[in-house]
Amino acid sequence: MNFISSRSLLIAATLASALCAPARAEDGGASAVPKQELQAKINYCKTCHGLSGQGYRGAYPMPRLAGQQSEYFENQLKAFIERRRTNPVMFNVAHALSPSMLAGLAAHFKDLNPKPLGGAQKELVAAGKKIYEEGVAETNIAPCSSCHGPEAKGEGAFPRLAGQLHDYVVNKLVNWSKERGQDRANPDTSAIMEPTSVKSDPR
């Protein structure tokens, strides 16, 4: 079986990181949670995900939450709660959140759009653009844009990739089968990505 190299993953992730169209969303339900409680949770999120949910580039990349699709955002928090997605830190954070708090946080972060942190390799953008728009025919990988949109903004359950930390994207793709879809009896939209992530794994 042919695999996409780590370099190709970095190329595609670099493109997604470079795509960052401005977006502002309407308030989609944050008012269901008392303002003070919501702000307290938002401040807590900043501890790892940075100011304005812009992400954090450190020893372990923390994803950018700003501008993320609300439906995807809520789905992932629920996946942590139900242990369909593994991350002990996020389980401890998410399982204490009420449904209205999930919706409030999702609405808040979707409405943010700070500049991406950058740091990706600019010389890989052109090749990444080709993978994003055309896929990789020899390994039957569909264009990323077919689900994530031409500007990588995502839609509904499909996440926004624009502005996401490129090293975080690479890490998630390489470790997909270890972290996502852990409850085979209760599959979610992450199952769509599994074939692509397997082909992306350089091992």
Q: Identify the pLDDT of residue 114.
A: 84
Amino acid at 105: L
> What residues of the chain score a pLDDT lower than 70?
1-31, 198-203
Q: Identify the pLDDT of residue 194.
A: 84
pTM confidence score: 0.81
Q: Identify the pLDDT of residue 191.
A: 84
Q: Identify the pLDDT of residue 53.
A: 95
The CATH class of 6-19+29-111+119-200 is mainly alpha
Q: How far apart are CA 95 and CA 88, in angstroms?
A: 11
Q: Identify the pLDDT of residue 23.
A: 39
Tokens of 54: 């812009």
User: Sign (positive/negative) of CA torsion 88, 13, 143, 69?
Assistant: positive
Residue 90 to residues 43, 45, 51, 66, 99, Cα–Cα distance (Å): 15, 10, 18, 17, 16
